[in-house]
Amino acid sequence: MGRRGDHSIEQIKEMALDAAETIVREQGYHHLSTRKIAKAIGYTVGTLYMVFENLDELILYLNGRTLDQLYEVIEPLVQRQDDPKRCIHEMTHTYLNFALQNRSRWNMVFEHRLPEGKDVPGWYPNKISELFNLLETPLRQLHQGESEQEIALKARVLWSSVHGICALALTHSLQHLGFDSPEPMIESLLKQNL
């Protein structure tokens, strides 16, 4: 067998990522496997290793897509330059909704770890950085006169805090802690920090 030439490498890459996204969405991160992906796109596992270094790299690209999608829905909100507080409220609310509505994929972004020693390619933390930076514009308006260093710190602390609440919401831990929704927690956080 061999040599079909039905698709270019780029095409196979995209087909694989699409298939993987569907599997994660429908069955969850831990049910994703190279064999399932290969079967879904009509190729054998070996072919995946022509296109990706390994499963970890494939997941990295998939997480990159997820981060891009989040950026796409958050970035437009920054334009609302008139009311920085409201802007931040909308950003966190959008973040929360995105995480809840793309539960499995969002989980994967935070649960996936590269094997000891291997570290992520530069473009990946860049995507995260860009997301964090989105908060800086409204925060700069809100805390005028503060140094850029201070604004950057505030943005990172705020995102991390929202993420922490969100992480607990995703594990259903909140229910056991006496809260059935993360919204009031986010509100409390923002009231304190804005």
Residue 38 neighbours by CB under 8 Å, 6+ apart: 44, 45, 47, 48
Using CB under 7 A as the criterion, what x/- string covers residues 22-41 for binding DNA? ---------xxxxxx-----
Single out the residue of 102, 19, 10, 26 nearest to residue 34, CA to CA.
Answer: 19
Alpha-carbon gap, residue 194 to 186, rounded angstroms: 12
Residue 113 contacts a copy of itself per CB under 8 A: yes
Site for a copy of itself in 56-95 (CB under 8 A): none
- 48 versus 91: smaller Cβ distance to DNA: 48
Dihedral angle of Cα 141, 144, 147, 151, to the nearest 10 degrees: -30
Please tell me the total number of residues recorded for the chain in this structure: 194
How many CB atoms lie under 10 A from the CB of residue 52? 20
Alpha-carbon gap, residue 55 to 47, rounded angstroms: 12
Residue 145 contacts DNA per CB under 7 A: no
Residue 176 contacts DNA per CB under 7 A: no
Q: How far is the CB of 7 from DNA (least distance, A)?
A: 6
Q: Which stretch binds a copy of itself (CB under 8 A): 15-23, 46-54, 68-76, 177-185?
A: 177-185
Q: Which stretch binds a copy of itself (CB under 8 A): 2-10, 49-57, 60-68, 112-120?
A: 112-120
Q: How far is the CB of 89 from a copy of itself (least distance, A)?
A: 15
List residues binding DNA (CB under 7 A): 1-7, 9, 12, 31-36, 42-47, 49-50, 54-56
